[in-house]
Structure 1
């Protein structure tokens, strides 16, 4: 059985000074990483092509964190995650196309796409979250098919949506700061939820829903919380994607895209946000390496490579690359020194 996180932060040693020190160090490391990556891009060390891949990796990770909450922590098997990714993309792109390519409209579009994904998740979650295991997966898969059909015929609602020909003319408003800080925001939000009482309730539902219900936990409420929040994250990622690649096509939101995100969550380790981040970045860059190596045969062999990776993973490390492990600054700041005293904040009373 997976270990349920305690109420203290994984970046804190338990006391108020430790929380402050670790929070400051964490913030400093995040800002330093942002500055380094920005400088590498400005100096051309990270070129335009690989810069776009980095942006895509961060967007994919943002979406994968959402599925990690739904499946990895709450145990709700979803095969329709890409549908909410598409909803966020189409709604946000429609707003910037219809009302102008301004920063304000971009922000409003991202907010609208995120809220639309969350609202639709809530509405469909009311009936389908009563299902369990494979039945829930089939229901979410069916919803994904419905969304795909709707996208194919969206031009009947508005010509701006493009229908089966795809949505063109989307302004390119997504930049590196947007994708980086959106990913950071989503990761911090997910981390704080997981280490809260609500997060522990979600994990108890994953481990044994019947036992959680007997213990008085409102299982439907916490499944809904994880589902809505995770789908909202997918909606945000979809909005960023739409304004990065400036083109949306219904084929971009087929079932295989949901499988890609599911692969990331399973590969990184169910119940590990750190694993999801590592796998999310790694899978996207692996795709580009395979594209360079295989060329035109990439699409044909991609499924084979993914299947082999999953088979090897299930044999050698079924819990995923990271298992339930999370990165923690406290392990480093409170590591004992050579003199026998703990460094950092661990020696504080």
Structure 2
């Protein structure tokens, strides 16, 4: 059977369990007072039972610093479709209370429980950055949730507090290949841009099923002749680029295949689909007795573009056994690429057409009864008398 493997990886930002778990991604967030919302992702790691409904209810323990969106519901039809909780930072107006950390609980309640159980769920930690009563550099939208092939995000960098008296230089860097930044370091804030600039963040699509990948943008201390804005280390950007690749292996054709004893064979294609493997992928083949395969296994690798073929040939057995159904069983794939390891491609099924026909039996001569034998003897005797008369 065809199987798809959902790869979920967040390198410290992802909470998982072996079975029947609610997976919460992007569990450490940063927001800024008066800024827009940010999100974290929730999905199940396995399907609930038919009547089972899993509800995740987010709750902020400090609504003055941040509020959350409504509850999420999962069932057997949408268990592997991610849903998102939006976090809206609290507004300014409460004075210089500093940067405040709070928690968001994600309580799990289950209707008609079977695979899942009620539990407290995984908390999300949020730091809400203060913008009042200080002169500093603020990086807005510091927690980004991007998607491969998705839209570009904009990060606003702004000097707040008293107006600067000179331009401010802000170096930045990223070591991630998950994003492409729209500016070259350093950024410059000056009177011409009203001491505000924008850094664009474009998610990259790698065609590799590597799961959700974290990234960061690190800001180094500022330099400025205005000592108020000199040597400031703004908050960094942390993000998660959501994977859009799902590893799969296609076998075609995989049903309705016809081969003939001593005649036509069938070529079968096997290929990695929807994502490019990062290592060789091997699939062993086991034919049933009616057919043979040209190879015992197929290997998908970089040299063949992760696609190859094999042939199915009917066994010519000189036995009148009629057309017979056959199966070529494909084993679960082996690979050091975790996304492809264990995938079970479609088996190949079809018919091996017989080329043998039953032998034609000889038809025996009819036999004569006693009367027929008497008639034959009389005819022969008469024939012999005529011959003798002619000779005389």
TM-score, normalization by structure 1: 0.25
Q: Which has the larger radius of gyration?
A: 2
Higher relative contact order (CA 8 A, sep 6+): 1
Judging by fraction of residues, say which structure has more strand.
2
